[in-house]
């Protein structure tokens, strides 16, 4: 069967490409070069896409997805990684690189991935830290990842092992069981307003509720984290939050009222507010 015929049959262009990449273990560009898709593969793809059309996220059906060009294990215990979160990682990388230039040889550079889910943020940053370590920019670093879901932490552990990332995993209600100071706290907390969950995107309803629900106004976690994070930040430490497109002003207000300074919002590729950085 030709690719165009399969897409016509499933009625789903992007999902069909992704499923074929997975089933054939092929790169995206190579999928377009395939002259003939075998019948068993076409049947398998059609079956998966039928389940997807009924509302199961593709990443759960395939057991994995790509984030920042790397493959991560994904199960229904974790949020499906979003491309929107890549801007958070990019900004975190810039901060780590800048800090590495004035690095402190006496203590490790400490990063906290708070609300880590599948571990995509901390693990992506571990690649950079490993590279910087090899370049002798950062002598030592420590990455800690925290979640309040034991099942999510199990997925994060699998991903850390898959990517050979040396990460401490902590089961904790936000910062309750986290000790010490960090140079960077990166956090993609649940930030969807309770009543908005699944309104625009029904696939979201299959994701863990606790990964999405940010309370009545979506700001519950920003308030909680900002009320307890100060003692966990080093002198030049920074908190970097992913935010909803309409939450920058509200998160800035919470940060300033909680006594932080230097609050800055950053936009994503769609020109919508996506990240807020906050200093002590
Ligand atoms: C929006 S998801 C982010 C997951 C991952 N960092 C990502 O970007 O794909 C939020 C995560 O926060 C976790 N979480 C919810 N309540 C928490 C709490 N009280 N303490 C720590 N983690 C919590 C959820 O289990 C979920 O994994």
pLDDT at residue 135, rounded to an integer: 84
Instruction: Count up the domains in the chain and report the number.
Output: 2
Residue-number span of the structural domain to which 252 is assigned: 76-279
Ligand 1 atom 12 nearest Cα:
115
**Is there an atom of ligand 1 within 6 Å of 152 CB?**
yes
Looking at the domain assignment, is residue 44 inside a domain? yes
Looking at the domain assignment, is residue 235 inside a domain? yes
**Is there an atom of ligand 1 within 6 Å of 167 CB?**
no
Ligand 1 atom 4 nearest Cα:
117
The answer to whether residues 138 and 198 belong to one domain is yes
With contact defined as beta carbons under 8 Å apart, do 52 and 16 qualify? no
With contact defined as beta carbons under 8 Å apart, do 22 and 15 qualify? no
Q: Which residues contact 71 (CB under 8 A, 6 or more apart)?
A: 64, 65, 162
With contact defined as beta carbons under 8 Å apart, do 159 and 118 qualify? yes
**Is there an atom of ligand 1 within 6 Å of 237 CB?**
no
**Is there an atom of ligand 1 within 6 Å of 88 CB?**
no
The answer to whether residues 24 and 146 belong to one domain is no
Burial class, 69, CB count within 10 angstroms (exposed 0-12 / middle 13-18 / buried 19+): exposed
**Is there an atom of ligand 1 within 6 Å of 116 CB?**
yes
**Is there an atom of ligand 1 within 6 Å of 121 CB?**
yes
Ligand 1 atom 1 nearest Cα:
190
pLDDT at residue 137, rounded to an integer: 67
**Is there an atom of ligand 1 within 6 Å of 79 CB?**
yes
Looking at the domain assignment, is residue 66 inside a domain? no
CA of 133 to the centre of ligand 1 (A): 28
The answer to whether residues 166 and 86 belong to one domain is yes
Q: Tell which residue, 67, 52, 38, 262, has the closest CA to residue 162.
A: 67
CA angle 99, 125, 128 (to 5 degrees): 70
Which atom of ligand 1 has the smallest separation from the CA of 113?
6
Q: Is 66 helix (H, G, I), strand (E, B) or coil?
A: strand
Q: What would you report as the CA-atom Rg of the chain, rounded to the nearest whole angstrom? A: 20
pLDDT at residue 107, rounded to an integer: 86
198: domain CATH number is 3.40.50.150
The answer to whether residues 132 and 20 belong to one domain is no
**Is there an atom of ligand 1 within 6 Å of 86 CB?**
no
pLDDT at residue 138, rounded to an integer: 63
pTM of the model as a whole: 0.95
- The predicted-structure confidence for 124-176, as pLDDT tens digits, reads as follows 999 999 999 888 766 689 999 999 999 999 999 999 999 999 999 999 999 99
Looking at the domain assignment, is residue 162 inside a domain? yes
Which atom of ligand 1 has the smallest separation from the CA of 81?
9
Looking at the domain assignment, is residue 200 inside a domain? yes
The answer to whether residues 156 and 48 belong to one domain is no
The answer to whether residues 83 and 37 belong to one domain is no
With contact defined as beta carbons under 8 Å apart, do 114 and 191 qualify? no
**Is there an atom of ligand 1 within 6 Å of 125 CB?**
no
Q: Tell which residue, 77, 110, 117, 141, has the closest CA to residue 236.
A: 110
Identify the segments of the chain with pLDDT beneath 70: 103-104, 137-139
With contact defined as beta carbons under 8 Å apart, do 254 and 217 qualify? no
The answer to whether residues 265 and 131 belong to one domain is yes
The answer to whether residues 39 and 105 belong to one domain is no
């Amino acid at each position: 069967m030709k690719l165009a015929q399969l897409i016509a049959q499933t009625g789903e262009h992007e999902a069909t490409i992704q499923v074929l990449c997975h089933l054939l273990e092929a790169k995206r560009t190579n999928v377009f070069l395939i002259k003939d898709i075998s019948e068993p593969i076409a049947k398998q793809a059609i079956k998966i896409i039928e389940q997807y059309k009924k509302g199961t996220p593709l990443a759960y059906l395939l057991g994995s997805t790509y984030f920042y060009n790397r493959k991560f294990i994904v199960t229904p215990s974790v949020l499906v990684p979003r491309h929107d979160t890549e801007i958070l990682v990019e900004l975190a990388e810039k901060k780590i690189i800048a800090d590495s230039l004035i690095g402190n040889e006496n203590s490790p550079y400490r990063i906290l991935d708070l609300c880590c889910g599948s571990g995509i943020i901390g693990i992506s940053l571990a690649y950079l830290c490993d590279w910087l370590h090899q370049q002798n920019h950062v002598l030592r670093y420590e990455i800690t990842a925290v979640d309040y879901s034991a099942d999510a932490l199990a997925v994060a552990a699998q991903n850390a092992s898959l990517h050979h990332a040396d990460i401490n995993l902590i089961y904790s209600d936000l910062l309750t069981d986290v000790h010490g100071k960090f140079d960077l706290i990166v956090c993609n907390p649940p930030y969807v307003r309770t009543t908005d969950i699944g309104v625009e995107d029904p696939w979201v309803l299959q994701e863990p509720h606790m990964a999405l629900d940010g309370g009545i106004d979506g700001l519950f976690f920003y308030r909680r984290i900002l009320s307890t994070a100060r003692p966990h930040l080093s002198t030049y430490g920074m908190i970097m939050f992913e935010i909803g497109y309409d939450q920058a002003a509200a998160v800035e207000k919470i940060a300033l009222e909680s006594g932080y300074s230097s609050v800055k919002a950053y936009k994503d590729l769609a020109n919508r507010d996506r990240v807020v950085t906050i200093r002590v």
